[in-house]
Structure 1
Amino acid sequence: MGHLMILATCSLNQWALDFEGNLKRILESINIAKQKGATLRVGPELEITGYGCFDHFLEGDTYLHSWEVLGKILQSEETRGILLDIGMPIAHKNVKYNCRIIILDGKVLLIRPKMFLANDGNYRELRYFSPWSPSQHVEEYYLPRIIRDITGQTTVPIGDAVIATIDTCVGVELCEELFTPNSPHISMGLDGVEIFTNSSGSHHELRKLHRRIDLIKEATLKNGGIYLYANQQGCDGDRLYYDGCALITVNGQIVAQGSQFSLKDVEVITATIDIEDVRSHRGQSSREMQAVNIRPYLRIEAQIALSSLEISMTPGFRPSKPIKEKYHTPEQEIALGPACWLWDYLRRSKTTGYFLPLSGGIDSCASAVIVYSMCRLVIQAATNDDVQVIEDSRRITGEGKDSDYIPKDPKEFANRIFHTCYMGTQNSSKETRERAKHLANSLGSYHIDFNMDNVVTSIYTLFNFVTNKTPRFRVNGGSDVENLALQNIQARLRMVLAYLFAQLLPWVRNKNGSLLVLGSSNVDECLRGYLTKYDCSSADINPIGAISKLDLRKFIAYAKNEFDISVLDEFLNATPTAELEPITNNYVQSDEVDMGMTYEELSIFGRLRKNERCGPFSMFSKLIHEWGAELRPTEIASKVKRFFFYYSINRHKMTTLTPSYHAETYSPDDNRFDLRPFLYNTAWSWQFKKLDSLAKDFEKK
């Protein structure tokens, strides 16, 4: 009769090297799990240190402090009576491993190292850790003295083993191992493991969640079993936002799902499971044919029953029913993911708000609306009595801990922490100035507006004094070199002024602290290099730096209705322009004309270059089949060559790119994601000759 059990998994907003805060959140999650009646609790990957420690994983201090924190967990009365799966780095025989520590009632049962490491895209785990090998290999680990004094143990098993409780068997699968072709859950399941835990540090990207959920469901669909997925949630101190979405599945069906975007520091989900459902699901003879031939895992005994006779005998207490998985649209993901990231960055940086230059264009508009979305999330959390959010809000706004201030209106809160500015010149239009002003009014930001022509003129005058030369814009007869230099002067001065106002506006408003400067260059313009190095796209952080122009337009259209901001229509209908050249009767600067390619084309080039790993020749070979019905082969070749030329001459700009929220797989962020040279032979002579030759062959046909 005792076959019902309550199992818990969680999402924690851990912070790299915040050992004290991380311990507090771990203990809180354990306490919540126990209050809900859970007998097993799973936490995210490397939860003691935070996932994003990077080269700090090479430092001995990180390992010492991890053991100290684990010691606190082992000593805590809160951790008794529940099987715990905790994540931290371990050094074994002077080799570093990414591990799970399985503990019960103040004892360490097993150290399970990660066997398949994430080492592409944003991840460089092989830089810090070694994979455990071979599978099912187990050794003895000699515990450090601080743990021996607590547990009375000298050695514990380390390796690829499983935990045998009184009533079932539990196996660990660590993050990337789920994504490998021959995942450990396959052999563990065939060997009788019924519960799989997966502790992850999985970041958010647009349209990514479907793949993760499909793999988690698939893990127990054919083989049967219970799958507990835990994840980090929040900004760990870098460009990534870990998007939570803890899951529990049974036999391929989701029975519990946590939030994907949340301001909560701790979120625990539980499900009531009938272990007999797993055993029934595994009743196929074909599965049993494979199971009898599987190599057995070493089983480490745990003196705990995960099932409970008490709840099994409680009338009306039943297993959790399957639910339909929840997904956000890409527009909702843009509204929520970067907004949560901005909140974490703001509260943890101890600054008092954000400063954003508004140009009247859709990019800075999108950054502003994301800040407003952040304000909405803060109001929602405060309304739900989130103590941490309320406390952070009081500190950021300068109200203090003893204040009774609770943010209740997003526009009122925005006016306290969000500052915008329109920096016009003689090349600016009335339309962009008005759009910026109307947007600021709609969002509630503290807005200033001024012309900076006298500052620009002073730079012209200085140059003339030194060189006795006066550069002119192209429309006034100047060369391309003069024209570009005059545009860059304006752009770079805006960056200087942005930081001046970000530092002093709180002082102007009789407040303490300073503001973080927000950038607003999108992923396509970064890819093409259509930005001035050290202009107002240079900022502290950028919420849209890895989001395409096409997705930003869809987001603004969504926000217009969802947030009830009618002025956003004006941004959707406006022609993208930098407004750095004089406007004449027959000339208005246009971004797409300047770039020589459309934003839609840039998005395609970006995905082929990064995701499909295409050079010029293979990119043309693919596009000839996609675009061949509308364009001649030589025209396609010309577009490909133009893209690679401008991409390569501007690659150096990516070395100074503002840290951006990572949301797109073709992000050109040189500092973490896109490791390519920044000094190219921009002629691409061999590649372009092969491309031209192929294009001519197609033309002949």
Structure 2
Amino acid sequence: MKSMNFIRVAAACPVTRVADVATNIMNIKKCIDQAVEQHAKLIVFPELCVTSYTCADLFLQKQLLDQAALGVKELCAYSAGKDIMIAVGSPLYAETVVYNCAYILFDGDVLGIVPKSYIPNYEEFYERRWFSSGREIIGHSVDLSFQKSIPFGIDLLFQSGPFQIGFEICEDLWSVVPPSSYLSLAGAQLIGNLSASNEVVSKADYRHALVASQSAKCIASYLYAGAGTGESSTDVVFGGELLIAENGNMLAKNERFQRENQVVTSIIDIDRLNLQRIKNISFREASSTVPWEVRKIFFTYKNTEFGVFDRAIDKHPFVPSDVKQREQRCSEIFNIQVAALAKRMEHTGLKKAVIGISGGLDSTLTLLVIVKTYDLLGYDRKNIITVTLPGFGTTDRTYQNAVSLCKKLETDFREVNIVAACLQHFKDIGHDPAIHDVTYENVQARERTQILMDIANKESGLVIGTGDLSELALGWSTYNGDHMSMYAVNCSVPKTLVRYLVRYVAEEETTKEISEILRDVLDTPVTPELLPKDAEGKIAQKTEDIVGPYELHDFFLYYFVRSAFTPAKILFLAKAAFADVYDEAVIRKWLDVFIRRFFSMQFKRSAIPDGPKVGTVSLSPRGDWRMPSDASRDLWLNEL
């Protein structure tokens, strides 16, 4: 899938013996073969793995330095025809100075040599005894016995097509301004770190956080390869940790302290990194701070096939798959909504809120937010005016849930039946009520909003909107009907997350009686109830039968807005994520619907009320999403 700009990368820890170059080379080759078999295009090895890191004063011995050079030569020859970039650690003896280096090998050549910038000389580290810093080496080249004029320095960036790769070594990452920061600003989306970080209590946690954080700061993928248990244990122990992170997310890692060759791989999404950089103005502006001009070393992969697509793609990208993380996310979002509404209520000086309650998920979540806000501010819940507005399609189930919830929460509950008013309006505009078209539906939606607005005027209150992010994306609201309110607390909460938020409140923040009502709301199909109920009095209109599954639309929304992916790439990812749920034809059908509705309904999003941003995706015209209402969608539809 070369056109998708994915690339499989690997981090490896070979079994090593101290100062035994032959054994080390043998195991490095085995790791290379394993990575090639898994279709990896880049493999990063630990620091000084050709000799082992813990050779100490043996690094001053000519025999070891000469043997290391021969080992690099052997690996270079071994790389020929393998179509994989190899970053391997070995000393470099040049002009009476020894450097701790990363040798970058590809298809029989040394493409470049990157020296370690920061040489630690504190606590258990004494590297300055043997190695010099390469921090000032820019624009240089060196000769090896088997290859001349090899680019040498910290300013090297290696590029094949859209893939740009940079390297740093161990302590470089721990410095205040790591070289990888500059390499990323110069274009590198992939950073390799050849490391030898010993193990002490809790150091692994810090290392994980450091790697993840640097990948996020650099908007890059970070490949970390640590020296393993074959290193000398005279004073310290090395765990051989391997980590692959992408923009703050840990994609792959191994178990430490293994005693055999270790290789971990992951597929990196270069498009995602590039597009995040485009959106991040601060990243772009920081590029001017790079203190040297990068030297690009060009090479060419024969192909970038990544084998089986085993990158984890979550069906519900807005909802953490980990239960503990999901609970934390729900708690944080719920509190953001509450804090936002509390500020608006205090600012207006109003003590009353008006909300239409349907018995569905969105209005239920909004009511729960209002109740917690009132409890936080010390306001009387009787100033929450909850209005149920039964119409032609209202069923007993949703009606009873709405009534029970409002009464249990001790709100000022009111009921206004809209049937007579709607029939009068049909008569006024000359519409046959037997024709159940969009006019039939929208009359009801606008009548409900009019009633809520008028009650708010009468009671000096605020109408709190219930619509969610998914409905905004699809334009699934009646313009100047449920589309409108005086403040909208759900406006950046997608439908898939609304469900989890209601469940979170049911499990963590309410009484058993109210929890039972909430659970029944959760079990009710999503519906606007604007068409008459069926002969058995049950819901006849199910939203997802009309516009498609919300889990698909939320998936499309996330990757269209958050990642700015093309429809073809979104389709590819959706097929991978939902392979056990929907076939390609179904996914393609609803993706087409999503694109059509997203473009045609922008005019509704251009006129939405205020509301808080709670996550990474928002469609507010004042914030994250600014789009012409009359933009053509043809370019996107033509990809499907």
TM-score range, shorter-chain basis?
Answer: 0.3 to 0.5
In our comparison, the structure showing a higher alpha carbon Rg is: 2
Give the TM-score of the pair, scaled to structure 2. 0.47
Give the TM-score of the pair, scaled to structure 1. 0.43
